[in-house]
Amino acid sequence: MFKNSINAYATPIRVYQMLLLVKQGNCTRDIAKTKFCPQPGDRDMVAPVISLAIELELLEEKEGNLILTQEAQSSTALQSMTYFRRWCNAKAFSKPTDLFSRISGIMLKLYDSPETKALIEKNFTTSKKLADYLKNHANMENVADNLRGWRFWASFLGLGVIHEGDKSFNFLPNMYIAVADAIYTAKLKAGTYLAADFFTAIRPFLGIAMPKANEERKLGFALGNGLRTLHESGRLICRHEPDAKTYWELPGTDNPDFPTTISHISLKEGAI
Partner 1 sequence: MNKEIAIERLNEVIKVDTTSSTPADFLATHVPFRRIKLKHGGGLGMDFEEVSEEDIWERYVRSPGERHQFVVVQGANGTGKSHLIRWLDTKFKAQPTDGEIVIFIRRSDNSLKGTIKQLLTLKELQNLPHRDVYERLVAAGRPVNPQELKNELYHALLAKVQTDITNGNTDILKRNQKKKLLSLLSNQTFCEAYLMKPNDLNAPIERIYRRVATDGQLKGYNEEPARFQPSDFYLSEEFVERLQNDQADGKAIDFVYELLEPEDERPAATATYLNQFLDSVIQKAAGIHPGDFESIFAEIRHELYLHGERLTLLIEDITAFTGINESLLNVLIDEHTGTTDGAGSERCRLSSVVGTTTQFYGEFRDNFRNRVTEEIYIEDTALTADRDDALLELSARYLNALSLPASDLATWAEEGALAEKLPIHQRVEQSYWPTFTLPTGQVLSLYPFTALALRNLVAGMREGQRTPRYFLTDVMRPTILHVIKDTLVAFPPVYTGTKPNLQWQNTEDRIYIMGQCSEEEQERLNRFVCIWGDGTAKQIEQDNISYLAGIPLPIYQELGFPNIHGRKYTTANTNAVSPLSSVTKKVASVTQNTAKTPTKYDSQRENLDKWLNGDVLMDDRNEIRNDLSDFLCSAINWQEEGVSFDHLNKIVGEKTGAANRLLAIERCSRGEGIYQLPARLDTYRIIDCLLKWRHLGQCSWTFAGAEEALYYATAWLYKIKDEVVQTVKESTANMEGTSAYAECALSVVVCCHMLSGGDATPQTLAQTIFAQDLSVPLSSANNLHCKDWNNLLSYLNKRPEVADAMGVAHDYFNIKQSRYPATKTFFNLSALQKSLDRLSKHDYLIPDAEELGKDDSIGARKTTLKPAGHIAKELPKVVAAEQAFWQDKMQPIIDAFDLEAKDLISFNANILVEFAVALEDFFQAMGKANKRNCVAKIKPQHVRDIRNNADKIAIAVRQAAVALEPGKIQVILPQLAQASLGDIKPLLDILQLAEDSIKKTVDAMPGEPPMPKGYVSPLADDRDLVTQKANCALAQLDSLREALSL
Q: How far is the CB of 226 from partner 1 (least distance, A)?
A: 9
Which residues sit at the interface with partner 1, rule CB under 8 A?
8-9, 11-14, 16-17, 20-21, 34-39, 41-42, 45-46, 49, 81, 85, 111, 117, 120-122, 148, 152, 155-156, 160-168, 170, 172-174, 176-177, 221, 225, 228-229, 232-233, 251, 253-257
Dihedral angle sign, alpha carbons of residues 154, 156, 158, 163: positive
What letter represents residue 216's amino acid? E
Interatomic CA distance for residues 192 and 194, integer angstroms:
7
Interatomic CA distance for residues 176 and 183, integer angstroms:
11
Q: How far is the CB of 176 from partner 1 (least distance, A)?
A: 5
Interatomic CA distance for residues 161 and 170, integer angstroms:
8
Nearer to partner 1, 165 or 245 (CB): 165
Q: How far is the CB of 218 from partner 1 (least distance, A)?
A: 15
Dihedral angle sign, alpha carbons of residues 134, 112, 90, 44: negative
Nearer to partner 1, 41 or 212 (CB): 41
Nearer to partner 1, 200 or 260 (CB): 260
Nearer to partner 1, 46 or 138 (CB): 46
Q: How far is the CB of 115 from partner 1 (least distance, A)?
A: 14
Nearer to partner 1, 121 or 196 (CB): 121
Q: How far is the CB of 7 from partner 1 (least distance, A)?
A: 11
- Nearest one of 170, 163, 175 to 220, comparing CA atoms: 175
Q: How far is the CB of 129 from partner 1 (least distance, A)?
A: 12
Q: How far is the CB of 256 from partner 1 (least distance, A)?
A: 6
Nearer to partner 1, 13 or 144 (CB): 13
Nearer to partner 1, 76 or 255 (CB): 255
Cβ neighbours of residue 234 under 8 Å, at least 6 residues apart?
A: 268, 271
